[in-house]
Chains A and B, each alone.
Chain A
């Protein structure tokens, strides 16, 4: 029989071909959209990995001693790639010491995806100090004549008001601790030292840990900020008021003497702002003179013993001695028979005088160990 050639089959094949092309075009368009979404997703994951890395570095700033890894201005420490536990992303941090007390942290982040996006964020920080002890000495610590410690929380209210008085006046020495016995015990808190400690119920109310195997990190020496002029401040028998702000003062030495000598810090803004007093030499407060923090909030006023100078600091207390002292290279002599509200970090530390009490402010333990520089966060391109 003669084969009949119809036209339906070619038409159907032709139509199928057209539809196939259309489907391919649709798939191509969908694929472009899918790829775009994929790049967005991996870019976002990389960004989040970088952010997670930045947060991790901030969290571990003290524990990992990142400051110590870049001792000089201009030094850079490139950390190894670190995997994130959750989704397989990873980050790599770079720490640059930009200034004596300013660090720039740059963190690359990559997703675990096949294309491994790369996003980089950057932020700057200035290190802070968290005071964990009422008195901490890199040298010997001595309490005599009935002097001692206790604690309170300035965030709660005034000392010894409505029960705001505690037994967290802990002390630490990298050498040894001597305590004059008394009842109740002068140290209302724990005692810890790498060396010997006078231990007993007439010495401290809390634990006693001589020859400790769990010492705290040694307090780092702080550099004096470069740029400002350091002048000598000497007050004798008069009152000098320093307003806050500014947020920093710089002195080569501070001397306050004479029975009515006063160095008062007056906080003029609401809310009050913190002030740092940088001293490259000695501090001497004697003869009934006083350093007063008129806000009566110790976290607002910090004295920094900076640089390599090791001159003795002599402090006598007053009605408004509310401050923290961080001077790990300076011998501290604390006396006056009155209260100090705050915390002290020094080399050799001697506290004397029957009524001399260091009322450790627990709010100081909550001061962040780093301060992020506002306005410095940015995403950069590599």
Chain B
């Protein structure tokens, strides 16, 4: 048995109790700090979530609105719904083999689906002619019809164009004046709206008559509003007269967090901006 040294002794009950009380107080303090840190983190995370929702929606809607031409692209304008032709691609024809055209400097995705259409610029009078894209060839390797090769001598690096599209005009006579030098702008009919799903509200996007995709959110009830203004800055309900669109977005966090007062609630934020139609 190990002998006990003189002068040493164990803790008394009183000392142990005091140590435990002091430890408990310290632990309570540490726990409080931890809890506060955790709450701050949760609040911060949800704030970021709301900010990201607003930023994403604002960037998307601004781009769509800026690309629009009132007469050509705005289809339905509502307080919480905007139906427009959303630009998908662009290019210029380097060869004309009506109804097929070689596309030079293509950008974006060229499609020939149900909801894909295009406007081509008639060089003779500058009008944009609405047409249907019925087939697309992608090169190299896409097997574009030989008759649609761009003249190499004129179009530097020409030959097989990166894209070839086949168009269907209605009426057929619309193709007159569409030729080499005509620009093409491809579109998909797209509707942006405040959409309900799972008991919450989202920015929804619908291509044609398809299902509505939830783009971003959640938004507050009534969290998406459009106001349309004409050249004089007066509110208008006529799509062809629209010059600018004021968009207001009100977002909320995905999760609820403990607020300063102790209540459990979402975080909220909103943004309002005016985008001008560039075309």
Q: Who on chain A is nearest to B109 by CB?
A: A381
Let me know if B107 and A375 touch, CB within 8 A: no
Query: What does the 1/0 interface line of B37-76 toward A look like (CB < 8 Å)?
Result: 1101100110010011001000100010011010010000
Let me know if A6 and B121 touch, CB within 8 A: no
Residues in A with CB closer than 8 Å to B123 are 99, 102, 225-227
Q: Give the Cβ gap from A111 to chain B, nearest Cβ, in Å.
A: 16
Using A29-B45, A228-B124 as known contacts, say yes or no to A98 and B8 having CB atoms under 8 A apart: no
- Which of A72, A247, A376 sits near B279, CB closer than 8 Å? A376
The A interface, classified by DSSP as helix, strand, loop or mixed, is mixed
A380 CB-CB contact with B under 8 Å: yes
Q: Which of A18-26, A167-175, A345-353 contacts B (4 or more CB under 8 A)?
A: A18-26
Q: Which of B87-95, B195-203, B210-218, B227-235 contacts A (4 or more CB under 8 A)?
A: B87-95
Query: What does the 1/0 interface line of A86-107 toward B look like (CB < 8 Å)?
Result: 0000000000101110101010
Q: Which of B136-144, B164-172, B175-183, B266-274 contacts A (4 or more CB under 8 A)?
A: B175-183
Using A32-B48, A33-B52, A122-B90 as known contacts, say yes or no to A227 and B41 having CB atoms under 8 A apart: no
B105 CB-CB contact with A under 8 Å: yes
The B interface, classified by DSSP as helix, strand, loop or mixed, is mixed
A241 CB-CB contact with B under 8 Å: no
Q: Which of B27-35, B110-118, B236-244 contacts A (4 or more CB under 8 A)?
A: B27-35
A1 CB-CB contact with B under 8 Å: yes
Let me know if B124 and A106 touch, CB within 8 A: no
Let me know if A377 and B278 touch, CB within 8 A: yes
How far is it, in angstroms, between the C-alpha of A15 and the C-alpha of B153 when the chains are bound? 74
Q: Which of A73-81, A185-193, A297-305, A354-362 contacts B (4 or more CB under 8 A)?
A: A73-81
Let me know if B125 and A248 touch, CB within 8 A: yes
Let me know if B181 and A99 touch, CB within 8 A: yes
Q: Who on chain B is nearest to A378 by CB?
A: B90
Residues in A with CB closer than 8 Å to B55 are 36-37, 40
Q: Who on chain B is nearest to A246 by CB?
A: B125
A374 CB-CB contact with B under 8 Å: yes
Let me know if A247 and B125 touch, CB within 8 A: yes
Interface residues of A in 364-382 (CB under 8 A from B): 373-382
Residues in B with CB closer than 8 Å to A15 are 30-31, 33-34
B185 CB-CB contact with A under 8 Å: yes
Let me know if B19 and A104 touch, CB within 8 A: no
Residues in B with CB closer than 8 Å to A12 are 26, 30
Residues in B with CB closer than 8 Å to A6 are 19, 23
- Which of A11, A96, A228, A379 sits near B63, CB closer than 8 Å? A379
Query: What does the 1/0 interface line of A19-57 toward B look like (CB < 8 Å)?
Result: 100110110011011001100100000000000000000
Let me know if A96 and B44 touch, CB within 8 A: no
How far is it, in angstroms, between the C-alpha of A226 and the C-alpha of B178 when the chains are bound? 11
B108 CB-CB contact with A under 8 Å: yes
Q: Give the Cβ gap from A102 to chain B, nearest Cβ, in Å.
A: 5
Using A30-B44, A373-B121 as known contacts, say yes or no to A73 and B30 having CB atoms under 8 A apart: no
Let me know if A373 and B126 touch, CB within 8 A: yes
Q: How large is the interface on B (under 10, 10 to 19, 20 to 34, 35 or more residues)?
A: 35 or more
Let me know if B183 and A380 touch, CB within 8 A: no
Let me know if A19 and B37 touch, CB within 8 A: yes
How far is it, in angstroms, between the C-alpha of A18 and the C-alpha of B105 when the chains are bound? 55
Most buried by B among A26, A75, A375: A375
A161 CB-CB contact with B under 8 Å: no
Let me know if A99 and B180 touch, CB within 8 A: yes
A5 CB-CB contact with B under 8 Å: no
Let me know if A381 and B107 touch, CB within 8 A: yes
How far is it, in angstroms, between the C-alpha of A23 and the C-alpha of B36 when the chains are bound? 12
Interface residues of B in 235-279 (CB under 8 A from A): 278-279
Let me know if B121 and A379 touch, CB within 8 A: no
Using A8-B23, A36-B52 as known contacts, say yes or no to A25 and B30 having CB atoms under 8 A apart: no
Q: Who on chain A is nearest to B52 by CB?
A: A36
How far is it, in angstroms, between the C-alpha of A300 and the C-alpha of B40 when the chains are bound? 67
A-B contact pairs, 27 of them (CB 8 A): A1-B7, A1-B8, A2-B5, A6-B19, A8-B22, A8-B23, A11-B23, A12-B26, A15-B30, A22-B34, A32-B48, A72-B154, A74-B150, A74-B156, A96-B104, A99-B181, A104-B183, A106-B105, A124-B121, A227-B179, A228-B124, A247-B125, A374-B126, A375-B119, A378-B107, A381-B107, A382-B107
Question: Which 9 A-B pairs rank lowest in CB-CB distance, beginning with the nearest?
Answer: A99-B181, A74-B154, A380-B107, A74-B155, A98-B181, A15-B30, A375-B69, A375-B279, A377-B278
Binding site for B on A (CB under 8 A): 1-2, 6-8, 11-12, 15, 18-19, 22-23, 25-26, 29-30, 32-33, 36-37, 40, 72-76, 96, 98-100, 102, 104, 106, 122, 124, 126, 225-228, 246-248, 373-382
